Amino acid sequence: MSQELSPIDKAKFVAAKRAVDFVEDGMRVGLGTGSTAAWMVRCLGELVRDDGLKIRGVPTSTRTAELARGVGIEVITLDEAKWLDLTIDGADEFDADLNLIKGGGGALLQEKIVATASDQMVVIADIGKEVETLGAFPLPVEVIPFGWQTTKSLIEELLISMDVLGREARLRMNGASPFVTDEGNYILDLHLGRIGNAQQLSLAMNQMPGVVENGLFIDICDVVVLGYGDGRVETRDINQGTVAEDRLDFLESDNLFTDMSD
């Protein structure tokens, strides 16, 4: 690293560094999208370069695919892989049951498809992503562009009957134009404040015409690897019911990380 990392970046780095320990030679690995997942891709690239690790990666976005190829990871499609041994990705929020909100980076559809096509999903996050109840982070909902304003109105009407604090839906923008996903869709960010029943909300929204997918990941994540700014790492396994703690050192000289920033 060319300069001292901030505490939040240190937390992301150590979580990513610990998470790649789950990857074994010959695996087909789903590669997540976002700032924390980018650290993980770089860590995997280091293992490919220095240790001869042989894996095939299925990226969840075009930018992750470009990064993976750039660090020497063999990139294949999900259709080529058919099934994955492991997916490692970040999260915008997670609760005690390891339910997630994802999609802040705009790749929630591919992320959910890849995660559910994996034997195991490992989420990497800094401690600030842990919440008692999901919903403080705006919930992304991917919708088709045709009739998106009607879809938005229907979602806001649906939210009246849901256990949430807020009901505002905002079209995600990219400058003066709507943000467009890799699949050519729009994203509505729902400012809910609190989601009382995430499973009910997820099922109800996905039955609505115009909605492609939502950013609630329910009963998909198996392990969360939490990073702290002082180098501590906590690994929580929901299936085993275990919590493991460790501490990692920072290797400031590793040139794989010289251009990383949020």
The string of pLDDT tens digits covering residues 68-120 is 999 999 999 999 999 999 999 999 999 999 999 999 999 999 999 999 999 99
Residues 102 and 42: their CA atoms lie apart, in Å, by 21
107 and 21 inside one domain: yes
What percentage of the chain carries pLDDT values higher than 90? 91
The DSSP bridge pattern shows strands 242-247 and 93-94 to be unpaired
152 and 176 inside one domain: yes
> Mean pLDDT over residues 223-250, rounded?
94
Which residue in the list 46, 93, 111, 213 is annotated as catalytic?
Answer: 111
In a domain, residue 1? The reply is no
Give the tokens for residue 11.
């937390």
In a domain, residue 83? The reply is yes
- Give 178-208 pLDDT, tens digit per residue: 999 999 999 999 999 999 999 999 999 999 9
Residue 111 is among the residues annotated as catalytic for this protein = yes
> Mean pLDDT over residues 111-137, rounded?
97
18 and 118 inside one domain: yes
150 and 233 inside one domain: no
In a domain, residue 64? The reply is yes
31 and 123 inside one domain: yes
40 and 167 inside one domain: no
- Give 21-68 pLDDT, tens digit per residue: 999 999 999 999 999 999 999 999 999 999 999 999 999 999 999 999
Residue 262: band (very low, low, confident or very high) from pLDDT cuts 50, 70, 90: very low
- DSSP-derived letter for residue 82 is S
What is the reported pLDDT for 4?
Answer: 78
147 and 188 inside one domain: yes
* CATH number where 16 lies: 3.40.50.1360
* CATH number where 175 lies: 3.30.70.260
Residue 130: band (very low, low, confident or very high) from pLDDT cuts 50, 70, 90: very high
Total domains in the chain come to 2
145 and 105 inside one domain: no
197 and 70 inside one domain: no
SS3 198: helix
In a domain, residue 134? The reply is no
What is the reported pLDDT for 259?
Answer: 46
SS3 228: coil
237 and 185 inside one domain: no
What is the reported pLDDT for 5?
Answer: 85
In a domain, residue 34? The reply is yes
Q: What is the largest CA-CA distance in the chain?
A: 54
33 and 51 inside one domain: yes
In a domain, residue 2? The reply is no
- Residue 2 pLDDT > 70: no
**How far, CA to CA in Å, does 132 sit from each of 57, 95, 168?**
33, 6, 21
pTM for this structure?
A: 0.93
In a domain, residue 262? The reply is no
In a domain, residue 30? The reply is yes
What is the reported pLDDT for 253?
Answer: 42
Domain holding 159, by residue range, is: 139-211
Single-letter amino acid code for the residue at 8: I
- Residue 146 pLDDT > 70: yes
185 and 168 inside one domain: yes
**How far, CA to CA in Å, does 22 sit from each of 12, 16, 44?**
16, 11, 11
